[in-house]
Chain A
């Protein structure tokens, strides 16, 4: 039995001490929104997560969605219990959290949306993918849809009645979306869409009376490549004259993928236009679909980074419980003790605890930059959040299983699910390699390292204050300083070498991204330690929590931040040994 408790105190600490939530809300003009309200929202969301979603997590892992015949074609029957859970989520109005007020949204800050999303993802990642994809679809329509489309779809999407899906990938168009072949033929007031999409998360289910598919397709006159792709709304049921779901549209899930994890989430092969063409409605202007996708990319990619945190947190809570219960050792007097006594178990638990805290800090600090409209900083953070958090989640969920010993390898224990579920995170929404290229290319080389330089300056200022803390943080501060020096040098190395060695940026990219992940994590844990110390000195806050935060920060800086040195050593080695072996010699 897996139990989940939302780490409310840590979320509050990050929102108050690192994000500056009250100040952010004031800047955004949200007079009546403050940290007190945020705490109430998080604690109520936590109840829904623990009480309704978490108990279904294992159910979805064991009982996968299945294909059925429905409405004159193939369809998907979701895992038993998921429809009721979705109903609770919908009745709670949670889908409306960040949406615009004019369409029934609560217009709350993105950072609060992220903090709440952490709860859904940690309690049941397979379930939470449905709302996550829906948020992406809502964002696309909100930014680019015509007023008519917004009026027709957004109120129902924000209420949760009609979730949305994202239909991008095709068998021959994955990372390279320029290769999209799905067709859109003008036909009166709409278009007829035909083609096949794969890997469509929650592409079909029976939880709601409609689904709003967003589909990338090409118009007949479209230019070749990335500049010829348009975005369409394709509803599962076409809307009648009153705006209610009417006739079944020609958009069906024709099969389900068999996956390594996230089994409760149906991953669909979607077929459009098998019966003559699915009715579709153009979002925004023709041929601009791919650029529209990019506008929502920060949110979507940061959302997957958040899943890295979530999978790690779930795995940590599970492993911690096991470590506290597992008797494995006998004292001289015959009494038994738990594996918590073993230093290596503690090392693994500290890695998990401190890293999830560092990830939570980075995820929420990055999410708040979207609220601040600080485009350069949030775009810079996006590949680090997505790439670093999801890569680190592989190690942390691995450790969660490792702490269980042999029992971790046994499915019934439950730890293996987090390990399997996390595996997709470094792949979808742009692989780790894609994130790393984004960081070295678009986010650094394109602006001559300007936004990275600004971040490094800010980190340097904060670490200067960390340097003088001394005491238990003497070594921690030294390691952060070294990591900062690695970051500064890596940025310069990249700017210098890009002109002469075209393989160098790509060869170094993942280490470059990981270096900045550990550095950002160390920076925010250092800030956390400084804030915690100040609170303790002032006699404020929960002393137990704050003292634990100090140790967590010390551990992270001493044991995790130091990895940036290894990253830098590998970056500096360049592309030579990576690229010199001839293809035939492999």
Chain B
């Protein structure tokens, strides 16, 4: 069984995010970029399934400019077998991304597609669900446990108020939650090997997808500076302030 993993290049989670002076977007000039942490978890899960003998090949796909090859190489260094970059220089909405992924899935015919549940830049939490709908395949989002069992997969999902375990027929789409696994550190021999692993570049035209961006970014603003707090003298005063000043009671 092949596993396809989608990864996204995003601002490194350690970087303090700055807004552009004209508030048009987040400032990404010369900012350290990295693989989206949820995507790292997806790669790790796929590699573990390969190591367990469940998967025969792990293919990693990323959509973006040539720079996202860096994240594909990282995934290859973590143990993925080959990479596909879908060359895209313009912004695209989640639906277009899902359509591009659908086209790749139809070419590769993986038994399982694993994605991060969301990316830490746009935080939309949409692509996996859209991809499942477009492919008309079963989906299990927010996975914290994955167990492939023949032509079925049992997935434990993190839902409000607890855990839910569902069984899906393969092929299927899974999106990862934070507690699915702890991604490994890339080993030096694998970093060296990753250089020689194949990395194909495809264009949206080749995939027969018209890329659109139906979302307009109006403005981006930094969160308001936190104001200094005050001390209240009594519980009564606290309740009074919550009622009349904060208006939350």
Chain A interface (Cβ < 8 Å from any Cβ of B):
5, 32, 37, 40-41, 44, 47-48, 51-52, 88, 91-94, 96-97, 106, 541-545
In the complex, which residues of chain A have a beta carbon less than 8 angstroms from the beta carbon of B117? none
What 1/0 mask marks residues of chain B from 9 to 43 whose CB sits below 8 Å from any chain A CB? 00000100000000000000010000000000000
Kindly report which residue of chain B lies nearest to residue A41, judged by CB atoms.
B191
Q: Are the CB atoms of A96 and B188 closer together than 8 Å? A: yes
Are B77 and A40 interface neighbours, CB within 8 A?
Answer: yes
Residue of B nearest to A546 (CB): B30
Chain B residues whose CB sits within 8 angstroms of the CB of A97 once the complex forms: 188
What residues on B are CB-neighbors of A48 within 8 Å? 185
A93-B73 contact in complex given A5-B14, A32-B195, C-beta closer than 8 Å: no
Knowing A32-B195, A544-B30 are in contact, say whether A106-B189 is a contact too (CB < 8 A): yes
Give residues of chain B (142-201) contacting chain A, Cβ–Cβ below 8 Å: 185-192, 194-196
> Does B74 sit at the interface, judged by CB under 8 A?
yes
In the docked arrangement, what's the CA distance between A41 and B195, Å?
12
Give the distance to chain A from B101, nearest Cβ to Cβ, in Å.
Answer: 25
Which residues of the partner chain B approach A542 to less than 8 Å between Cβ atoms? 30
Instruction: Report chain A residues within 8 Å CB of B73.
Output: 40
From A51, A52, A92, A545, B188 is in contact (CB under 8 Å) with: A92
Contact between chains at B191 and A40 (CB < 8 Å):
yes
**Distance, CA A44 to CA B196, complexed state (A):** 18
Interface of chain B, helix or strand or loop or mixed? helix
- A40 / chain B contacts, CB cutoff of 8 Å: 70, 73-74, 77, 191, 194
Per the bound structure, the CA–CA distance linking A280 and B189 in Å amounts to 32
**A39 CB, min distance to chain B CBs, angstroms:** 9
> With A5-B14, A32-B195, A106-B192 in contact, is A44–B30 under 8 Å at CB?
no
Cross-chain contact of B185 among A44, A106, A541 (Cβ < 8 A): A44
Instruction: Evaluate whether A92 and B30 lie within 8 angstroms (CB atoms) in the complex, with A32-B195, A37-B195, A40-B77 already known.
Output: no
Partner of A92, one of B74, B187, B195: B187
Q: Count of chain B residues with Cβ under 8 Å from any Cβ of A?
A: 17
> A554 to chain B: closest CB distance in Å?
22
- How far, in angstroms, from A41 to B186 measured CA to CA in the complex? 9
Contact A96 B189 (CB under 8 A): yes
Give chain B residues whose Cβ lies under 8 Å from the Cβ of A106: 188-189, 192
Please tell me if the beta carbons of B185 and A88 are within 8 angstroms of each other in the complex.
yes
The answer to whether A93 touches B189, judged by C-beta atoms less than 8 angstroms apart, is: yes
CB distance from B68 to the nearest CB of A (A): 14
**Known contacts A542-B30, A545-B30; A44/B186 CB under 8 A:** yes
The distance from the CB of B9 to the nearest CB of chain A, in whole angstroms, is 14
For the complex formed, measure the closest distance between the CB of A119 and the CB atoms of chain B, giving whole angstroms: 12
A51-B185, A543-B30 known; 18 other A-B pairs, CB under 8 Å? A32-B196, A37-B192, A40-B74, A44-B77, A44-B186, A47-B186, A52-B185, A92-B186, A92-B188, A93-B188, A93-B189, A93-B190, A94-B188, A96-B188, A97-B188, A541-B30, A542-B30, A545-B30
A543 surroundings in chain B (CB, below 8 A): 30
* Residues on B with beta carbons closer than 8 Å to the beta carbon of A32: 195-196
Q: 3 closest Cβ contacts across the A-B interface?
A: A542-B30, A93-B188, A44-B186
Most A CB within 10 A of own CB, among B14, B70, B191, B195: B191
Contacts of A5 in B (CB 8 A): 14
8 Å CB interface, B50-83 against A? 70, 73-74, 77
How many whole Å from B53's CB to the nearest CB in chain A? 20
Distance in Å from the Cβ of B90 to the closest Cβ of chain A? 23
- Using CB atoms, name the residue of chain A closest to B73: A40
**Which B-chain residue is minimally distant from A52 (CB atoms)?**
B185
Q: Which residue of B77, B187, B191 is within 8 Å of A91 (Cβ)?
A: B187
Q: Digit string of B104-138 for contact with A (CB within 8 Å is 1, else 0)?
A: 00000000000000000000000000000000000
How many Å lie between the Cα of A541 and that of B29 in the bound state? 10
Residue of B nearest to A97 (CB): B188
The residues of B that contact A37 with a CB separation of less than 8 Å are 191-192, 195
Contacting pair B30 A93 (CB below 8 A)? no
Q: A residues within 8 A CB of B74?
A: 40
Chain B residue at smallest Cβ distance from A9 = B32
**Most interface-central of A88, A93, A106 (chain B CB within 10 A):** A93
List residues of chain A with CB within 8 A of the CB of B77: 40, 44
Query: A528 vs B30: C-alpha distance in the bound complex, in angstroms?
Result: 19
- Interface contact A93-B185, CB-CB below 8 Å: no
Residue of B nearest to A39 (CB): B70
Q: Chain B residues with Cβ under 8 A from A94's Cβ?
A: 188
Q: How far is the CB of A317 from chain B (nearest CB, A)?
A: 13
Q: How far is the CB of B172 from chain A (nearest CB, A)?
A: 31
Q: Which residue of chain A has the shortest Cβ distance to B189 in the bound complex? A: A93
- Which B residue's beta carbon lies closest to that of A334? B228
What are 14 A-B pairs with beta-carbon distances under 8 A? A32-B195, A37-B195, A40-B74, A40-B194, A41-B191, A44-B191, A47-B186, A92-B185, A92-B186, A94-B188, A106-B188, A541-B30, A544-B30, A545-B30
Pair A47/B187 contact, Cβ less than 8 Å? no
| Complex CA–CA separation, A52 to B77 (angstroms) | 19
Neighbouring A residues of B189 by C-beta, 8 Å: 93, 96, 106
Expressed in whole angstroms, the Cα–Cα distance for A44 and B184 within the complex equals 11
Query: Distance in Å from the Cβ of B23 to the closest Cβ of chain A?
Result: 20
How long is the Cα–Cα vector from A94 to B185 in the complex, in angstroms? 11
A545 to B70, CA, bound (A): 21
Q: Which residues of A contact B190 (CB under 8 A)?
A: 93
C-alpha spacing A51/B190, complex, angstroms: 19
Q: Is the CB of B188 within 8 A of A47?
A: no
List B186-222 residues whose CB lies under 8 Å from chain A.
186-192, 194-196
- Complex: chain A residue closest to B74, CB-CB: A40
Q: Name the residue in B14, B30, B77 with the highest tally of chain A Cβ atoms < 10 Å from its Cβ.
A: B30
Closest to A8 in B: B32
Tell me how far the C-beta of B15 lies from the nearest C-beta in chain A, rounded to whole angstroms.
11
Please determine whether A47 and B195 come into contact, CB atoms closer than 8 angstroms: no
Q: How many Å lie between the Cα of A52 and that of B186 in the bound state?
A: 13
Kindly state the separation between the CA atoms of A106 and B188 in the bound complex, as whole angstroms.
8
User: Cα distance A543–B189 when bound, in Å?
Assistant: 34
Distance in angstroms between the alpha carbons of A97 and B191 in the assembled complex: 11
In the bound assembly, the distance between CA atoms of A106 and B187 in angstroms comes to 12
Contacts of B30 in A (CB 8 A): 541-545
Distance between Cα atoms of A47 and B32 in the complex (Å): 14
Smallest CB separation, A325 vs chain B (Å): 14
